[in-house]
Amino acid sequence: MAAVRGGVGPLIRERRASARRSQLDLALDVGVSARHLSFVELGKARPSPELLILIANRLGVSAREQNDWLIAAGHAPRHAETPLDAASMASVRRSLQAFLDAHEPFPAVAIDRCWTVQLWNDASAWLGNGISAEARGVPTNIFRISLHPDGFARRTRNFDQWSAYLLRQLDLIVRRTRSAEAEALAAEIEEWPGIAPRETWSRWAPRADDPVMPWVLEHSGVELSMFTVMATLGTPVDVTLTEMTVELFLAADPMTQAIFAAR
């Protein structure tokens, strides 16, 4: 909120600097003079909503943050944020659920920007059988259920590798979204046993000799090996849908394929 009270100029300048773009380069890209852009960043000129949206799009700013920019500049937000369970979202929700169900017998979930599960299929519910509400979160959060010592952490056979990947994703979410929810979750997780120091979270890199890194999980006395595909909606307008991701779990070996098929 401090940045919002300070106006939109510092928000633009910070995003431009992180994108490593000069004032002149960005100004030419959006069709204004470098002088005018400088005045906007210094708070000496109030940008129109159209210019703000154009700058934001050129810098890859999310719909949620675009709303923050508009409010900071004294304009009304442009992007609605509708709960997924609202009546106006019914058709989208049904289609997403049908998509997840069609992925049976393999797990599939729809998650928000902090990887909290919004929709799921039966296979994902089966995967989480026996895990307490404390470990999974209410509603279930992927980072929490995967990294909590009483969650999937005690069942994950390659926890060092898998946790490093997840912690890298959580670190990116904290940095990109500046979400208080994500920061609070990260602060809690870093205190759990088996979690690497937070300063190392951003350093994870996949091994070049592996096509994908599997998640190797013990479940019901058998070992499952899976990798995931993550997809976003192609034409979202509402903030809720711009931040929605569908994660599909796939078998990484023939034995896992057979186990899921037998369900």
Q: List pLDDT tens digits, range 100-129.
A: 999 999 999 999 999 999 999 999 999 999
Main-chain dihedrals φ then ψ at residue 220, nearest 5 degrees: 55, 35
- The answer to whether 135 and 126 are in contact (CB under 8 A) is no
**Cα separation of 62 and 175, whole Å?**
13
What is the mean predicted confidence (pLDDT) over 186-210? 90
Tell me: the pLDDT tens digits for 234-250?
999 999 999 999 999 99
Token duo for residue 179: 């979400």
Side-chain half-sphere of 154: how many Cα atoms within 13 Å? Answer: 11
What's the rounded Cα separation, in Å, for the pair 100 and 200?
34
Residue 223: per-residue pLDDT: 96
Closest CA to 231 of 215, 247, 242, 243: 247
217 bridge partner residues: 156, 224
108-111 and 245-251 as β-strands: parallel, antiparallel, unpaired? Answer: antiparallel
Whether 174 shows a pLDDT value over 50: the answer reads: yes
Query: pTM, whole model, 2 decimals?
Result: 0.86
**pLDDT number for residue 6:** 63
Q: Is the dihedral of CA 156, 160, 165, 167 positive or negative?
A: positive
Query: pLDDT at position 212, please?
Result: 86
In 21-89, DSSP assigns E strands to none
pLDDT > 90? residue 74: yes
pLDDT for 122-153, tens place per residue? 999 999 999 999 999 999 999 999 999 999 99
Phi-psi region of 195 (alpha: psi -120 to 50; beta: other; left: phi over 0): beta
Tokens 């909503």 map to which residue? 49
Longest dimension (CA), the chain: 67
Torsion angles phi and psi, residue 249, rounded to 5: -95, 135
pLDDT band at residue 208 under the 50/70/90 scheme:
low
Q: What is the model's pLDDT at position 149?
A: 96
Pairing of strands 222-232, 215-219: antiparallel
Compute the CA torsion angle 171, 176, 182, 185 (nearest 10 deg). Answer: 10
Average pLDDT rounded to a whole number, residues 214-235: 95
Instruction: Give the model's confidence band at 3: pLDDT under 50 very low, under 70 low, under 90 confident, else very high.
Output: very low
pLDDT of residue 205: 81
> Residue 54: helix, strand or coil by DSSP?
helix
Euclidean distance between the first and final Cα of the chain, in Å?
Answer: 49
